Amino acid sequence: MPGKTTSEQIVETADRLFYEKGYEHTSFADIAAEVGISRGNFYHHFKTKDAILNAVIDLRLINTRAMLEQWEQDGQTPEDRIRCFIRILITNQTKIMEYGCPVGTLVSELAKLNHAALADANRLFTLFRDWLSLQFKALGREEDAEELAMHLLARSQGVATLANAFHDETFIRAEVDALSMWLHERAREAA
Amino acid sequence: MPGKTTSEQIVETADRLFYEKGYEHTSFADIAAEVGISRGNFYHHFKTKDAILNAVIDLRLINTRAMLEQWEQDGQTPEDRIRCFIRILITNQTKIMEYGCPVGTLVSELAKLNHAALADANRLFTLFRDWLSLQFKALGREEDAEELAMHLLARSQGVATLANAFHDETFIRAEVDALSMWLHERAREAA
DNA sequence: GACATATTAGGACGGTCGCCCTAATTTTGA
DNA sequence: TCAAAATTAGGGCGACCGTCCTAATATGTC
| Confidence (pLDDT) at A177 | 98
Looking at domain A1-47, does it have CATH number 1.10.10.60? Answer: yes
| Confidence (pLDDT) at A191 | 73
Nearest Cα residue to A161 out of A111, A89, A91: A89
Cβ neighbors of A98 (< 8 A, separation 6 or more) are A20, A164, B111
Measured between CA atoms, how close is A3 to chain B, in angstroms?
30
User: H/E element holding A43?
Assistant: helix A39-45
Least confident interval from A2-16, B5-19, B154-168: A2-16
pLDDT in tens, B73-104: 987 899 999 999 999 999 999 999 999 999 99
Share of chain A above pLDDT 70, in %: 99
pLDDT in tens, B98-132: 999 999 999 999 999 999 999 999 999 999 999 99
Mean predicted confidence (pLDDT) in A36-65: 96
Q: Which residues of A touch B164 (CB under 8 A)?
A: 107-108, 111
Specify the nucleotide whose C1' lies closest to residue A52 (CA): D18
Mean predicted confidence (pLDDT) in A130-151: 97
Mean predicted confidence (pLDDT) in A46-74: 96
Judged by CB atoms closer than 8 Å, whether chains meet at A125 and B162 is answered as: yes
Closest by Cβ to B155, choosing from A109, A155, A168: A155
Residue B53: pLDDT band by 50, 70, 90 thresholds?
very high
Judged by CB atoms closer than 8 Å, whether chains meet at B175 and A151 is answered as: yes
Q: Which nucleotides of C are covered by protein (CB under 7 A)?
A: 7-12, 16-23
Q: Tell if B3 CB is < 7 Å from nucleic strand C.
A: no
What residue in B sits closest to A147 (Cα-Cα)? B171
The three-state secondary structure class of A13 is: helix
Q: Which of B97, B108, B118 to mutate to test the interface with A (most CBs of A within 10 A)?
A: B108
Nearest Cα residue to A7 out of A35, A40, A45, A34: A45
| Confidence (pLDDT) at A74 | 85
Judged by CB atoms closer than 8 Å, whether chains meet at A161 and B166 is answered as: no
Share of chain B above pLDDT 70, in %: 99
What mean pLDDT is reported for chain A?
96
Determine contact, residues A125/A153, Cβ cutoff 8 Å: yes
Decide: pTM greater than 0.75: yes
Specify the nucleotide whose C1' lies closest to residue B9 (CA): D7
| Confidence (pLDDT) at A131 | 98
Cβ contacts below 8 Å, chain A against chain B, sum to 117
| Confidence (pLDDT) at A3 | 73
By the CB < 8 Å criterion, does B22 face chain A?
yes
Residue A20: pLDDT band by 50, 70, 90 thresholds?
very high
Cβ neighbors of A36 (< 8 A, separation 6 or more) are none
**For chain A, what is the radius of gyration of the CA atoms?**
18
Judged by CB atoms closer than 8 Å, whether chains meet at A161 and B104 is answered as: yes
Q: Which residues of B touch A109 (CB under 8 A)?
A: 22, 109
Share of chain B above pLDDT 90, in %: 93
- Tell me the domain boundaries of chain A: 1-47, 57-190
Judged by CB atoms closer than 8 Å, whether chains meet at B113 and A22 is answered as: yes
The string of DSSP letters for B13-75 reads: HHHHHHHHH-TTT--HHHHHHHHT--HHHHHHH-SSHHHHHHHHHHHHHHHHHHHHHHHHHH-
Q: Tell if A39 CB is < 7 Å from nucleic strand C.
A: yes
| Confidence (pLDDT) at A75 | 73
CATH number (1.10.1660.10, 1.10.357.10, 1.10.3720.10, 1.10.10.10) of A57-190 reads: 1.10.357.10
Judged by CB atoms closer than 8 Å, whether chains meet at A154 and B174 is answered as: no
| Confidence (pLDDT) at B3 | 73
Round to whole Å and give the CA distance between A126 and A150.
Answer: 10
A184 to A82, A98, A109, A125, A136: CA distances (angstroms) = 10, 30, 34, 23, 11
Q: By CB neighbour count within 10 A (0-12 exposed, 13-18 middle, 19+ buried), where does A30 fall?
A: middle
Residue A4: pLDDT band by 50, 70, 90 thresholds?
confident
What mean pLDDT is reported for chain B?
96
Share of chain A above pLDDT 90, in %: 93
